[in-house]
Each structure stands twice: as structure tokens, then as C-alpha cells.
Amino acid sequence: MTAPLTHILPLTLIRRTRLLPAPGRVSARVGQKVNATDVVAETRLAGAHQIINVRRALSLSQSDQPERFLSCRAGDRLQKGDVIAEGGGLFSRLVRAPENCRVVYIFNGQVLLEMESQSHQLLAGINGVVTEIIPDQGVVVETSGALIQGVWGNNHIDQGLLLVMVKEPLEEVNRGTLDVSMRGAVVFGSHVSSADAILAAGELPLRGLILGSMSAEARLAAETSQVPIMLLEGFGQLPINSAAFKLLNTSERRDACINTTWDPVIGVRPELVIPLPAEGQMHHDIVALAPEQRVRVISAPHASQVGKVVKLSAGITQLQNGVRTPTADILLEGGSEPVSIPIANLDVLE
Amino acid sequence: MTTSIVDAESVLVLDIGSVQTRSLLFDTVDGQYRFIAAGVAPSTPGAPYFDVGEGVHQSLLKLQSITARTFLNRDSQLMLPANPDGSGVDQLMVIFSAGPELQFVTMGLLEDVSLESATHLAQTTFGRIVEEIGLNDRRRPEAQIDAILATRPDLIIFAGGTDKGATRSIGKLVELILFYLQCLPEDSRPEILYAGNSALANRIKEILTRLTRLHPAPNIRPGIDQEDLGPAADVLAQVVGKIRTRQIGGLESLGKAASVPPIPTSHGLGRMIAFLSKVYDRRKGVLGVDLGSSHTTVAAGISGELSLNTFPIGSGAGAPEILKDAPVEDVVRWLPVHIPDDVVLDYLHQKSLYPAMVPVTAETLAIEQAIARQALFTAMNRMLKIHPDLVMGFEPILVSGTTLTQYSTPGQSLLALLDGLQPMGVTTLLLDTNGLLPALGAIAPQIAELPVQVLESSAFVNLGTAICVSSDARFGTPLMNVKLDYGGNQTQLEIRQGTITSLPVRPGQTMNVHISPLRRLSIDPTHRDRSRSFKIVGGVCGAVIDARSRPLGLPKDAARRRDLLKKWALAVNA
């Protein structure tokens, strides 16, 4: 049976498809080296709309056909001040475009305008090389390096130097522990219990904040923060798993790309990519739970502990609290005897 | 009601949930349809598969291993129909609740008439109402268009006008929809379900089908004081099925193999509850509750009339939604042990990240059961706000949901239902441990006798009868004397206000209960039935008298409250 999988890899080939939300122009080219915050494509998203009632604006009578007075057609692009409709007569009234806009639709003497909007820029997301162009939609970027996936993120992208501010897997990060020397860096912290620490990260500002865990009370502040924030373990007072802790500690002062885009429904997870000057191999995205695999436990009392699968138990096991569920025997790091853990509470680390 | 089978067919129902995919097998045993077994596997609509087929395949492998029957051929294809050697199945049905939450925009004329009904219709299935637009909306039309554009709906539910009623006002809304649709590329336009003035249905279809798919449905407000959601809910279920087959990988091919198009799980549940409400006491009605990971569906049927609502409240991904109606203290109040508020809050959010996570410790199990109670309480409250005429006097009450069916003992489930739903009067509490009701609802139109025969079997766990008594007497006051007459034995009990008392009745055993009130009390919430003698049947928890009054009040003092919760748990062996 397939198992949930989290990548914590010191060196792998990372391939990411980056797509615009609507068709647009791709500016990158195949073979181009890009940084995470480089714009690779852009599009114009629909701006605000306005309906011009030509009959009313020109004070036309019921018998008048407003279409006769129109100077534009659906699809026309207008500059601010361009004439939309013109009444007859010597001192005719003019209806002009209020802004640069596009005529979307004309119906019953009403003209629907779409105002020009700001462009939406698609960022590369990781430092790497563009390997494919998807016409009008986006690019595929590849790089080799370390990959660390999180379980929750606040949907921002940035890059910076990785600074490690923790010595233990569970240490409090607060306003006092964040200082000006961290400005512009992607900081690896451990646990945040208050919104104030998140606000302090935004005030510096940091380029990114990687945390083991966060109290749910701080979630709203993290969701609205402009600093990319990702959690490796989740909500609560959870230590960082040893695999991620070691890898991040050995990656200090390297360039790191943080992409905290998170959509659990479609399986998009936040991630930290640390590009390395070596060639990585493609990793698996699907694994089946099997003996010898390295796994992380996601639930108390062994939350965030890493261990090795010894065997999958046959049938159903009754836990101490009475719940009956399939389990696996896991030898936890530092443990001498395997412990029985529900299979649903295991996450394969690869 | 027993019927013999002439052309018996094996039926496989695939229930594709947001966390689990279940293969439910029904077949005949001694000439009667029975539920045979369920194969369960994690659902796979998201990464890395993006195709529900893998979850279905795994669940079928489980089913094969449990039943020692073969359903898949060498190419891993489901064998349909069954072969003479018994391998495969004759019919396939698909029900689903998986996939990204559907986004609905509801539109109607008057806010508290057709717009409200359109909103009620949307709530019969899995989704979220992201925008509501009525005729009296004070925003300019272009602002309304921008608001709809910002929400990117999957479906617009449009109602308004009694039959042969308003036309001009509906015209204004059609114009708004027309403008909105023109703002989008053809392949991005949402579908529209029109359930308004039926006299205009053809004209509206003519106008809007040039731009998108329009699904006409019977008017949900045929009269100003009359709301009729049933027929339109059927159309909505079909439309949601079509949208889902496009959104969820693998669902389309399963749908093609199925005997009927896939329907939402909530619709299947509603269909069965409407049916059961004709079979059981027509005055009391039947209640069905499905506490899912992302959504909770509540279906109330009275004499075949169905009130069906699906709320984005759940025990997993939908757990944080509970906090929109009440603070975390309202979850904590159900805990019989001290666990700090912030720990419960963290767990609630963590559970939304890992909906399949199994509680391992006594504390986490207690939190899960507290979440289940509060989710039931919140969903029921929302339901009663939408349908103020409903009275919590249903019998029976059928409930499904992992926390109640897999993580709890029968006593714990019984107490969770009494706490969360707070039923009134005399009722029977049934646990649908295999989540069969929605599946039976899907089968019913094809094989009418199958649900009847499965219901007659022991497919559901009868937790027991609960006699729920309400009184404003002070806690601990003697409330009534109860005489029990069972199997030739007679016993007398004194029941005090604020207690739960377990009655010594064995599963399946009949007991006569006669109540002699010592204080003013109410049993039947409708006050129509003033009888004080009841014939009850024991379930796996026997039967209970719940004299804790309604709404159930808990002491504010945490230590006293926890003591009381422990006493109540002890009383029902939870």
C-alpha cells in the first residue's frame, strides 16, 4: 500500500512546473539560468469592470436604438478619453472611456468595460535552469540540490542566505531571538508560540522563516504575513524531526529558495530548495510502506520522532486507548525496542 | 416486508471520500440481500496520483482478500458483469465526497425568500457558498460582477419568482449573469442551475445556453410561503456529479462503468432518510448524520419530506470550521480530563493537516471525541437555524463517522450522540458502522428491495433506546419514579435531574417503562404525546434515561464539570 511521503533529501534533482493563472507571455527561454525571484512569465488578470448605460448617458428616448450611437465594438481596446458613444446634433454629448480599458460586451445599450489591470508576474520559484517552455502558460525549472518539504505554508516565494538560529529541535523563537543581523535571510527557527514573533519577522524583514512548529494561535498572523513561512511538523509544540534538523544545520549560509505555496487538496506542499553544484538524481514521488524504510511519526506520544520500519503487523492491533487500527513496528532513533505505531500516523522520509 | 429475490444481482458501491475510499459489496445470502464486506484504502484524488483509481484499486484488493472472491481480472480491471464462476460483480455504483470544495454562487430575488432557498439548495451538497446576490443587493452591477469573478465559482444556483410570478426582476439577474459570463473565456465559465419561475425556464435556457451549460430544475419556491427543494436537489446532485467527473481524475471512467452516474454521498444519505421516514413513525421523523472528515451531512425526514444540509464542519480537515461558531472552550468543555485550551486548539489544527491521523493516547482520543461532540452540536444547530420547524424528536437517529464508529466504544458513541445531538423524547440510536446508508441510497432507484433487506439485517449497530426527559428542576432533584417490567422482572428506580441512568435491558430484549413524574417534566418535544409508558428494545448499550434537560447545561467550574462528565460516562459504561 502506498504511504504518505515527505522529501528530506541532501541531494536530488528538483523539477518544478510553474504556471500562470491565465494565458500570458512567457519571457524566459530554454537553458536560461534563473533565480527563485526572477520573473519567467507574466499575464494581465482581469481588472475591475464598469457598465456604461449609453441610453441613459446620452439621454436617448425609448424609440432610439442606442447601438446606432456607439463608436466601439466588443473586443476593442480603448485609451482613457476615447469615445464610446456619441449623441447626434450640433452639440452632441460624448461618452468617453474612464480609463484604459477593453470593451467586453454590448447588450441593450449597455457597454461592459474591463479596466486595464496590473500584470501578474510568475516567479521561477527556485534557482535553476529553465528546461522547458509551456507556450502562453509557464515554464519548467530544474536544479540539483537539497530538498526539504513542509506540511503547511503561507503561499509566498523568496530566496536568501540560510541562517540557523536553533541549537535544539524544540526552541522558542520570539521577538528577542530575532535580530537585525538576520534581515534578508531565510531563517531556520524551531517553534513560534505567539503572533508577535511572526510580526517581528515581518518588521525586520526576513526573506523566509522555516519552523518546526507553531501554535495555532499564531496561524492567522502567519497567514497574513508577507514573509514566506513554512512548518516542517505542524501545529503544536512539536520538535523538528532529526532528518530535517541535521540537513538544515549542515546547510547554513547556503543560498536557499523558499516556496511556501500550500494546497493540501491537490497535494502542493511548501518546500525549501538549497541549490548545490552537484548532479542529483530524480526522487520517487510514490512509495509503499515496507521494512527498513525511514519514517517519521506524526502523532503523540512520539510526534516528530524518526525511526525505521521493522515490520508491518498482520491484521488489526488494539492500541492502549482501545482504538483498533493497522500498525507497524518502528525502531525509533535512540530506542532499543520497536514500538507499535498506527500506519496512518507514519510518514515515509525519502 | 421480506421479499424474495428473483433476479439477484451482486452490487459493488465505491464510496470515494476525502480520506478513505471504500468498496462496499452487497450480495444475496439465503435469498436475501445482505451487506457482505467493505475494503478500505486511502483515497487518491490528490498528489501524487491525481486519480481516484489507485484508491479504488487498493480498496478492491482489500475486499478480495476479505471475501476470498475475485473482482479484478489479470489486467486489474473490475469484472462487470459477474462471470458464471462468481467472479466480478453485476452492478457498480459510485458515490463521492472527495475533491476540492465546490464553490457556489447563489442568486435570487428577495433575500429571505428565493435567495434563501437557493442557499438552502446549495447546502444540500458538498461545497461552500462564496457569494450571494439578491435583487436588493446595494452594490452596483459591475461590483457584483467583480465579486463573482473574484470567487471563481464552479456553479451558479439561480432561483426567483413563484411559478407564473416575477419576470422582469428575473430578467435583471439574467442580464447580470450574461455580463458576468462574457467576462470569462468559454472554457472557464461556470455552469448554471436555474430553479426559479418555471414559466421562464425555456427562455432563460435559450439565452444562457449560448454561453454555458444551463440545467433547469423545478422551482424551489413555487409559492411565496412554499419551499420545495427535493426535485431541484436531485438535479443539483446530478450536476455536481458531472462537475466532479471533470474535476476528479478517474471518476469519469468509473462513472461510465457504473449503472447510474456518480452521486454525492450526501444525496445518497438524504434519499435513504426520506425513504426511512415513510417506514418509521411518520410524526416523529428520522434523522441521519454523517460526520465526515471535511463535511457533516444532516438529513431529517418526516413522512418522506426531506431536509438535507451539508456543512463544511468535520472531524478532520473540517475541524477548524467548528471554531467559526464557538470558541475552543466549547470543545474543551466536553473533555473529562484536564487538557489546556491551547493544546486542544493546536490538535484541532494539526488534525486538519493530517485528517487520517489515528489518536494513540487517551488524551488525544478524548480530544477527538470532544471534537466529534462539538461538530455534531454545531451541525445540528446550523440545521435547526435553517429549518426552525424541525423538532429534535426523531426516531430513529442513524449516525456514521470514523470517530464514532472506529475510535469509540459503543458506550462512548452513545454518550457522544446524546451530548452532541441532544435528542428529545424517546429515540433509538443506531450506528452505521460501515457507512452504508449513502450507498443504499445510491442503489435504491435500481434495486428497490436491496436497501429494505439490508436494513432488516443486522447491518447497523443498535446502540440502544434513549428516553430523554426535560425539566427545569434543580440539579439533583428527584424527577420521577420509573417502573421497569422486563422478562418477568420488575424494578423501580428514582431518577434525579441531571443524571443518565442505564436500564438493565439486554440487546434485543423488550422492556416496559412506566414513568411517574415527581416534578413537571416534558418527554415528547412536540407535547402531542403525553404518554408516560413506553415499550423499548435494548441495544448493545441497553437503554438509558437521559434526565439532563435540554439544552444540556454543563457546570462552569472545570473540576465539577469534569467530575460530572466522568459520572455520565460511568453510567453508560463509556
CATH 2.30.30.30 occupies which residues in chain A?
A: 289-349
> B444 with B272: CB under 8 angstroms?
yes
Strands (E), A250-336: 255-259, 271-275, 287-288, 294-297, 306-312, 317-318, 324-325, 327-332
Residues 392-411, chain B, touching A (beta carbon < 8 A) = 406-407, 409
A44 or B88, greater pLDDT: B88
CA angle A104, A109, A115 (to 5 degrees): 30
Residue A286 touches chain B, beta carbons under 8 Å = yes
Residues in chain B closer than 8 A to A1 (CB atoms): 41-42, 58
Under DSSP, the state recorded for A184 is T
What backbone phi and psi angles, to 5 degrees, belong to B286?
Answer: -125, 140
Residue B89 DSSP class? -
**For residue B45, which of B34, B58, B57, B54 has the smallest C-alpha distance?**
B54
- Predicted local distance difference test score (pLDDT) of residue B17: 92
Q: Do B429 and B463 touch, CB atoms closer than 8 A?
A: yes
Residue B2 has pLDDT above 80, yes or no: no
Q: Match 498528489 to its residue by C-alpha cell.
A: B47
Name the closest residue on chain B to residue A340, using Cα atoms: B360
CA nearest to B350 within chain A = A235
Residue A92 has pLDDT above 80, yes or no: no
What digits encode the pLDDT tens for the residues B481-500?
999 998 888 999 999 999 99
Distance from CA of B434 to the nearest CA of A (A): 15
Q: Does A326 touch chain B (CB under 8 A)?
A: no
B339 vs A: CB within 8 A = no
- Residue B1 pLDDT > 50: no
Residue B473 has pLDDT above 70, yes or no: yes
**Better-scored residue on pLDDT, A66 or B77:** B77
pTM of the model: 0.91
Identify which of B145, B178, B347 has the shortest CB distance to residue A49: B145
CATH code of the region B103-247: 3.40.50.360
A49-115 is classed CATH 1.20.140? no
Query: What per-residue confidence (pLDDT) applies to B5?
Result: 42
ipTM of model: 0.90
Provide the pLDDT confidence category of residue B7 given band limits of 50, 70 and 90. low
Q: Do B100 and A285 touch (CB under 8 A)?
A: no
Asked if the model's pLDDT at residue B4 lies above 50, the reply is no
- Model confidence pLDDT, tens digit, residues A218-259: 999 999 999 999 999 999 999 999 999 999 999 999 999 999
State percent of chain B over pLDDT 70. 99
Q: Is the pLDDT of residue B97 over 50?
A: yes
Q: In terms of CA atoms, which chain A residue is nearest residue B185?
A: A22
**Which element (helix H / strand E) includes B558?**
helix B558-571
User: What value does the CA radius of gyration of chain B take, rounded to a whole number of Å?
Assistant: 25
B194-204 pLDDT, tens digit per residue, is 999 988 999 99
Contact B342 A322 (CB under 8 A): no
Portion 239-268 of A in contact with B at CB < 8 A: 264-268
Residues facing B483 on adjacent strands: B492, B514
| Cβ-based contacts of A344 with chain B (< 8 Å) | 356-358
Q: How many CB atoms lie within 10 A of CB B413?
A: 27
Kindly determine whether residue A215 and residue B178, on different chains, have CB atoms separated by under 8 Å: no
B-proximal residues of A, 31-60, CB under 8 Å: 46, 48-51
A267 to chain B, minimum CA–CA distance in Å?
5
pLDDT at B163: 78
Check: CATH 3.30.1380 for B11-96? no
Secondary structure class of B273 (helix, strand, coil) = helix
Residue of chain B minimizing CA distance to A346: B357
Cell of A59: 439621454
Cell 446524546, residue located: B418
Q: What is the mean pLDDT of chain B?
A: 93
Decide: A61 and A88 in contact? Cβ < 8 Å.
no
Residue in A264, A268, A190, A195 with CA at minimum distance from that of residue A225: A195
* pLDDT at residue B6 is higher than 70: no
Distance CA A345, CA A151 (A): 14
Q: What is the bridge-based pairing of β-strands A185-188 and A157-164? A: parallel
Round the average pLDDT of chain A to a whole number and report it: 93
User: Are A2 and B146 a contacting pair at CB < 8 A?
Assistant: no
**pLDDT tens digits, one per residue of A328-346:** 999 999 999 999 999 999 9
Lowest mean pLDDT among A45-59, B295-309, B349-363: A45-59
Cβ-based neighbour number of residue A319 at 10 Å: 19
pLDDT at residue number A243: 97
Residues contacting residue A330 through CB under 8 Å, at least 6 positions apart: A295, A297, A307, A308, A309, A310, A338, A339, A340, A341, A346
Structure confidence at residue B477 (pLDDT): 95
- What is residue B224's predicted lDDT score, i.e. its pLDDT? 82
What is the tens place of the pLDDT at every residue in B410-463?
999 999 999 999 999 999 999 999 999 999 999 999 998 999 899 888 889 999
Span B465-480, mean pLDDT? 94
CATH 2.30.30.30 is the classification of domain A289-349: yes
pLDDT of residue A72: 93
* Average confidence (pLDDT) over B11-21: 94
Residue type, A257: C
Instruction: Give the whole-number percent of chain B exceeding pLDDT 90.
Output: 82
The pLDDT of residue B560 is above 50:
yes
Q: pLDDT tens digits for A11-24?
A: 999 999 999 988 89
Residue B381, classified by CB atoms within 10 Å of its CB into exposed (0-12), middle (13-18) or buried (19+), is middle
Residue range(s) in chain A whose domain bears CATH number 2.40.50: 49-115
Tell me the nearest-neighbour CA distance from A111 into chain B, angstroms.
9
Which residues in chain A are classed under CATH 3.50.30.10? 2-16+144-275
Residue B187 pLDDT level (bands cut at 50, 70, 90): confident
Quick one: pLDDT at residue B208?
Answer: 94
In chain B, where are the structural domains located?
A: 11-96, 103-247, 266-571
CATH classification code of A2-16+144-275: 3.50.30.10
Residues in chain A: 350
Whether pLDDT at B279 is above 50: yes
Confidence bin at A93 (pLDDT 50/70/90): confident
A96-127: per-residue pLDDT in tens? 999 999 999 999 889 999 998 878 999 999 99
User: How far is residue B254 from each of residues B87, B284, B403, measured CA to CA in Å?
Assistant: 19, 39, 29
A236 and B CB contact within 8 Å: yes
- Name chain A contacts of B46, Cβ cutoff 8 Å: 264-267
